[in-house]
Amino acid sequence: MRAILPHLFLGNALDARNLRQLHELRIAAVIDLALEEQPAQLSREIAYCRFPLADGVGNPSWLLRAAIETTLSLVDQSINTLVACSGGMSRSPSIVAAVLSIAHHRDPDECLLELVRNHPREVSPPLWADVKELVASW
């Protein structure tokens, strides 16, 4: 898990299930994007938002929009939030890059490049195209 902003963290499925680390970082909300993972079992005080996204084509635009809007709302309110997918290399960076692009009025490709620079990545081109299309309509 790594901090992107003071209240925004990016991680993977293991991070989203590591209660000790979540509590140490005072994570108040987890955005879980991994379709293939079982829902996390978290403590009662952590909000859990699951948006089961496929790492590729076929995601309904309403589901992508809901993941972006929810994350954006939490970040706007300075809520410590973890955005996670299976490996933390495609869906979570895509959604976080969309949030950064919208929040800071920046090009989504630039935001994504900054997020993945010097980190493992396997961003799905079809998923990223769908996310960018939504960001352009914001």
Partnered with residue 83 across adjacent β-strands are 10, 31
Model pLDDT, residue 62: 97
**The predicted structure's pLDDT at residue 102:** 97
Q: What fold does the segment set 2-136 form as a domain?
A: Protein-Tyrosine Phosphatase; Chain A (3.90.190)
Domain ranges in the chain are 2-136
Burial class (CB in 10 A: 0-12, 13-18, 19+), 122: exposed
| pLDDT (tens place) for every residue of the chain, 138 residues total | 999 999 999 999 999 999 999 999 999 999 999 999 999 999 999 999 999 999 989 999 999 999 999 999 999 999 999 999 999 899 999 999 999 999 999 999 999 999 988 877 789 999 999 999 999 998
> Which of 65, 31, 36, 67 is CA-nearest to residue 135?
65
**DSSP strand pairing (81-85 vs 8-12):** parallel
